[in-house]
Structure 1
Amino acid sequence: MNLAISLLCRKSLVLVIFLISTLSHLSFSQQVNSYPKDGKIKDLKGKVQEDIVVAKDGSGDFLYIADALEAIRVYLPKPITVYIKEGVYKEKLEIPGTITNVTFKGDGPDKTIITFDDHTGKNYMDTFDSYTLLVWGNSLIFRDLTIQNTAGSVGQAVALHAEGDRLVFENCHIKGDQDTMFASGENSRQYYKDCYIEGTTDFIFGSATALFEKCEIYSKTNSYITAASTPNWVDYGYVFNGCKLTAAEGVNRVFLGRPWRDYAQTVFIDCEMGDHIVPEGWHNWGSLEKEKTTYYAEYNSIGPGANMKSRVGWAHELTDEEALAFTKENIFKGSGKSINAYGFAWYGYEKDTSFTLNSSYKKYSKNLPDIQPVYAASIGGVQEEMNIPYKKLGYRELKLDVFCPENQGTKTIPGILFVHGGGWKSGDRSLQIPLAKALAAKGYITAVMDYRLSLEAPYPAGVHDVKDAIKWIKDHANEFNVDTTRIAISGGSAGGQLAALVGTTNGMKKYESDHGDYHSSADVQAIIDMDGVLAFHHPESSEGTVAAEWLGGTSEEVPEVWDEASALYQVSDRAVPVLFLNSQYPRFHAGQDDMIQKLDQLGIYSEVHSFPNSPHPYWLFEPWFTPTVNLTDKFLRKIW
């Protein structure tokens, strides 16, 4: 009797387990592959190959990220974007190797948060099962979101476990404590750009080839940052370039790394190190043998934690020549093709970073020791709205920053769009922020913008971008109280060339993109050209290789393009008033006299002001910055 009851109980228990399992499966299938917008359950598993929206409020295609992952077609024939709207998504996620060519984009790391709390002290879990997000897939991009493990200081608790190849993380926050991120896989190449990574012990560990560029690495306790396990046959391990190493208050003894396995490689280049970094820098994990195979190195470290003289004897200081080898191309070199679906290297298009405020100051201060660089400090009475996307390219967004006078009320006021210089191949929008802020303080709505440079896309892409930015500003005029009948375009050097060309081609569809997201015209009503060439092919011009890179060939190879891109040859009754602000170098004013003559004949106003003994990018420095602001203001008030 007891045996019969025992058997019956066991059968009942099995039945209960079966029913629970079945119901759980049914419940799960109610969520996966459903579109909450219409409330209908659809069998979409592995079928979706278009862009997807995930939203917790039901306004998207899916409520859960896991559902979207289930729906994506395996080995996508073309790239798609999974837009994850603002919200906290408590999900433990795995991206299988069959998911490729997907960009996972959030609303910002403070808004889109993927979180879980597994750890090694939970249900006998090991380190590699404690992840919040596990990535096996290749050719994936993660942008503008947070990946975190909130288990706390309870042992190993991985937030990001990444073993796929060709992975990009941009403007992501990766948060946790011990073992925050497992960047691993001996054939895995991973690129982290503008990310924030925090943890306690060995919080960046594994065998991947990983480049961390302009990231903040935040230590929460006295311990070790990295624990690489680079295989002997891999050329590069972890490389930190231009990163900032910071720490919590009271943290004062942190090592750059210790070797998890023999042959570990970790290199820091041009990084700023806080005083929490110990003078010896590196630890051998208690093994003299590992000192013989480990490759730990630094180059041009700065800050109170940079102390090469006190580093352990088995660490290296790179020579200038050795440091040059740490390019993206070399670090990410693989046996297969490096081109993505958009025609760029999978880790992004290359960008020349040679033209910066600091590099210009270093160059010109040798002969002009009294010049002072003007930085983008806050200005009283000016409101800022930063990082606004104005154009989607598929693989990235072009952005602009807008500056407005405070307390302007509802009255519409003129606008100025600033275009940065850099030989059409370098520079970025931040260079024009000081001018934009200073003129916003004088009563203008101002904006600075991104545009595609020659290493990303040749002419006329940059022209299209500038005109699209103008259209965006007009489309959003009500948000900023912009007077759309009084829009000026200002640029310096290459930006001056673009400003002049855009202003002399008002209404000419040939110079506009077919981007369908805008409703307004790209017309402007004034041009401020700061040392921008007006004619590429002209007796006074000396443009050569740099211009050819942007224009797609030399003047002999594509003469029609050189003329088409020259504002001088586009002057007609479509032109608008122009302010020419010149440095001491005549070659940057090629065609200016001819253009003024044409404008005079058309009865269109122009002004010329020159700054003797000034550097080419004079607007970046005092004593020329303030006169540039005042002359621009005076000119615009005169014509308007």
Structure 2
Amino acid sequence: MAHFKSIFVLFLLCWCFTSVNAQHVNSYPKDGKVRDLKGKVQEDIVVAKDGTGDFLYIADALEAIRVYLPKPITVYIKEGVYKEKLEIPGTITNVTFRGDGPEKTIITYDDHTGKNYMDTFDSYTLLVWGNSLRFQDLTIQNTAGSVGQAVALHAEGDRLVFENCHFRGDQDTMFASGENSRQYYKDCYIEGTTDFIFGSATALFDNCEIHSKSNSYITAASTPEWVNYGYVFKDCKLTAAAGVDKVFLGRPWRDYAKTVFINCKMEDHVVAEGWNDWGRPQVKETTYYGEFGSTGPGANSSQRVDWAHQLSAEEAKQYTAENIFTGQTSQTNAYGFPWYGYQIDSSFNLEDSYNQLQKHFPDIQPVRNTAVAGVIEDNVDYKDLGYRRLKMDVFYPEHRQKDRLPGILMVHGGGWRSGHRSLQAPMAKALAKKGYVTAVMDYRLSLEAPYPAGVYDVKDAIKWLKSHAEKFGLDTNRVAISGGSAGGQLAALVAMTNGREAYESPSSGLTASASVHALIDMDGVLAFHHPESSEGTVAAEWLGGTYEEVPEIWDQASALHQLGEVAVPSLFLNSQYPRFHAGQDDMIKKLDKLGVYSEVHTFEACPHPFWLFRPWFGTTVNFVDGFLQKVW
């Protein structure tokens, strides 16, 4: 009976602590009226400490959310320090909790073991039972200090995603657990002292910084015997506080602990032996600790304990998100792609292209993305997709004239499935130096969403730029669109569909015009199905099928077939490969017939992505500048 009473008292204490600092009402404080909203809200929510949102406290927003939501919603937690002890129940699903950045939106508490009879699993700041949840751009911390176990995040739900989040604490910072829990941490920062990542979950840590604050152990996995993967760290950086010089990668909390580090950079605080058996030599036969591709002074593969594994290249290839997160339930989320994120194809990038092309062009030099004196850069979010935000980098001269400047939106290439906006940044900066407002943008590629999603994104980027013209000194009557390869195809299609609502997102919410006034197409096809075209599988992947399967879509996405009275002056810059100019001659004939100016320049003996390399980069910039000065 005494045992029962102590449990009951503990329950009351925990309940009280959970309620600290909450309003105890479900209300929208903007109008000062109290409303009973418990379990009724199924639309996006804003939490703001300054009263500008729907709720002052996160706890009240959680109580208001309808159970088992019929569609995803976002809880936007505005900048502020929220001292709240929070629990997300299993009935809350399909919610994105998004902050203003990990330095601005901070969820904090200071419970720890021994405080009011608490144990480790009561000491959390945030406890997550719900499934299919995302957390972005915020910090979760426990500020109890070095007083024993003090958990910041206690996560046991399934299909949990944490992106650009910081987890701060000391001992036991993160309890990533649950036998059937799958958790994905991307671009996160995790700090602690002892066993600060522990538990039984299957968790992938992707491009995270793991920061040790004392000489101790990073992980303490308790992976069940029947689970294929435990903790997997890929492309992570292991760092340490000053004076820390003896840190183990892990020790087994339970006998079948599984932890693997792949392509991680380790500083010299990681001990040569790497792993510890926690004084239980029998676990050497049951644990699975492994590494592949470790670099840095802490990567001592030859000195690791003999019961750890050095993975082969073939074994390391098996550690994909798809394999790690394999489960019996559907892997597709409400947005139509895997819950742990759409696949990213990074095969088209500057360095790999350079390594391949220099064999045939020995004098080629890549133009890397570096700062340019006199050019201001502004990184913005131009579109919110719910599960992520599309970004744009805007460049403009530091010293501007009184007159508004012409603008250029630049679209990167990569076969509609790869590439990154940074590929176009060097040219954007060079043109900004010449007196333009330029921008490079994200857009949805084929592995995330098929056509016409990318077209909608480009049109929305134009609208966003025009809506913020005052900030950048942009002349909205002189906006060009430029693109290379697949980006050139997109740019041409967008330019030749000015004013066509069918090519604009029906849910944009932006009122500015998406029309442009000039086109620069660098090696971008103008007709997918054409005697000169060689487009096949890659185009079919983006367009949703082959030409035989969806001929109307192939024609709909071809600028040549959409050119009409709204055609704009066009500059075509070509490589030596005719297939990338498919439909160009036919388009020029149409432009001539309409009396619309066009200009063509062909680089002989050059690679397809010539605009990314010298000696063609500077000439390309001059061609673009000269053309726009002619037409404007």
**What TM-score does the superposition give when structure 1 sets the normalisation length?**
0.93
Which residue of structure 2 lines up, in the alignment, with residue 273 of structure 1? 266
Question: Structure 2: how far apart are the matches of 1:231 and 1:151?
Answer: 30
Alignment partner of 1:123 is 2:116: yes
- The partner residue of 1:176 within 169, 176, 197 is 169
Paired residue for 2:537?
545
Deviations 1:328-384 (A, max 9, x none): 111111111222222222112222222222322232233334433322222211222
- Measured after TM superposition, the shift of residue 29 of structure 1 is 8.1
Change (3 A) 1:442 1:223: farther
Residue 129 of structure 2 contacts residue 155 of structure 2 at CA under 8 Å; is this kept in 1? yes
SS at match of 2:117: coil
Quick check: 1:190 aligned with 2:183? yes
> Following TM superposition, by how much is the alpha carbon of 1:122 offset from its aligned partner in structure 2, in angstroms?
2.6
Partner of 2:220: 227
- Residue 26 of structure 1, CA deviation: 11
How far the C-alpha of 1:409 sits from its partner, in A, is 5.3
Within 5 Å, which residues of 2 pair with 1:83-232? 83-232=76-225
Partner in structure 1 of residue 579 of structure 2 = 587
Alignment of 1:546-561 (within 5 A): 546-561=538-553
Q: Is the 8 A contact 1:224 1:254 kept in 2?
A: yes
- Measured after TM superposition, the shift of residue 25 of structure 1 is 12
Please name the residue that 1:397 is paired with.
Answer: 389
Change (3 A) 1:506 1:254: same
Matching residue within 275, 297, 306 for 1:304: 297
Aligned residue pairs total 620
**How far does residue 304 in structure 1 lie from its aligned partner after superposition?**
3.1
Q: Distance in 2 between matches of 1:610 and 1:503?
A: 21
Pairing partner for 2:317 from 298, 318, 324: 324
Q: What is the SS of the residue equivalent to 2:115?
A: coil
Equivalent AA in structure 1 for residue 355 of structure 2: K
Q: Are the aligned partners of 1:230 and 1:261 in contact in 2 as well (CA < 8 Å)?
A: yes
The Cα of 1:401 is off from its aligned counterpart by: 1.6
1:513-538 C-alpha deviation (Å, 9 max, x unpaired) = 21241111111111111111111111
SS, match of residue 123 in structure 1: helix
Q: In structure 2, do the counterparts of structure 1 residues 42 and 189 end up closer, same or farther at CA, with 3 Å as the change threshold?
A: same
Aligned to 1:603: 595
Q: What are the within-5 Å matches in structure 2 for residues 112-511 of structure 1?
A: 112-386=105-379, 388-408=380-400, 410-511=402-503
Q: Is the 8 A contact 1:141 1:168 kept in 2?
A: yes
Moved over 6 A (4+): 20-29
Deviation at 1:306, TM superposition (A): 2.6
Q: 2:21–2:84: 8 Å Cα contact kept in structure 1? A: no
* 1:28 CA displacement: 7.7
CA contact (8 A) 1:364 1:615 kept: yes
Paired residues of 1:32 and 1:66 also in contact (CA < 8 A):
no
Q: Distance in 2 between matches of 1:464 and 1:238?
A: 38
Please list the CA deviations of residues 264-307 of structure 1 after superposition, one character each: whole Å capped at 9, or x if unmatched: 11112222222332333222223322222111122222333333
Report the more deviating stretch, 271-280 or 526-535.
271-280
Could you tell me the percent identity over the aligned residues? Answer: 75
Deviation at 1:146? 0.8
Q: Point out the more displaced range, 598-607 or 438-447.
A: 598-607
Separation in structure 1 between the aligned mates of residue 210 and residue 228 of structure 2, nearest angstrom: 23
2:505 pairs, out of 513, 519, 523, with 513
1:22 Cα offset (Å)? 14
CA contact (8 A) 1:497 1:529 kept: yes
Query: Which residue does 1:41 correspond to in 2?
Result: 34
Tell me by how many angstroms 1:446 deviates: 1.2
Partner letter of residue 420 of structure 1?
Answer: H
Alpha carbons 2:111, 2:125 under 8 Å: kept:
yes
Q: Is the 8 A contact 2:205 2:234 kept in 1?
A: yes
* Alpha-carbon distance change, 483 to 497 in structure 1, aligned in 2, over 3 angstroms: same
Please name the residue that 1:535 is paired with.
527
Task: Rate the CA distance shift 1:223–1:335 in 2: closer, same or farther, 3 A.
Answer: same
Deviation at 1:178, TM superposition (A): 1.6
Q: Gapped runs of 5+ residues in structure 1?
A: 1-19
Post-superposition offset of 1:563: 1.4
Q: For 1:31, what is the secondary structure of its paired residue?
A: coil
- 1:4 aligned residue: none
**Gap runs ≥5 in structure 2:** 1-12
Counterpart position of 2:4: none
- In the alignment, is the contact (CA less than 8 A) between 2:21 and 2:83 conserved in 1? no
* Secondary structure at the counterpart of residue 100 of structure 2: coil
* Structure 1 position 574 matched with structure 2 position 551: no
Match of 2:59 among 46, 62, 66: 66
Change in Cα spacing, 1:215 to 1:30, as seen in structure 2 (3 Å) is closer
Provide the C-alpha distance between the structure 1 equivalents of 2:520 and 2:603, rounded to a whole number of angstroms: 15
- CA distance in 2 between partners of 1:22 and 1:478 (Å): 51
Please report the TM-score for the alignment, with normalisation by the length of structure 2.
0.94
Question: How many Å apart are 1:312 and its aligned residue?
Answer: 2.2
- What code does the residue aligned with 1:433 have? A
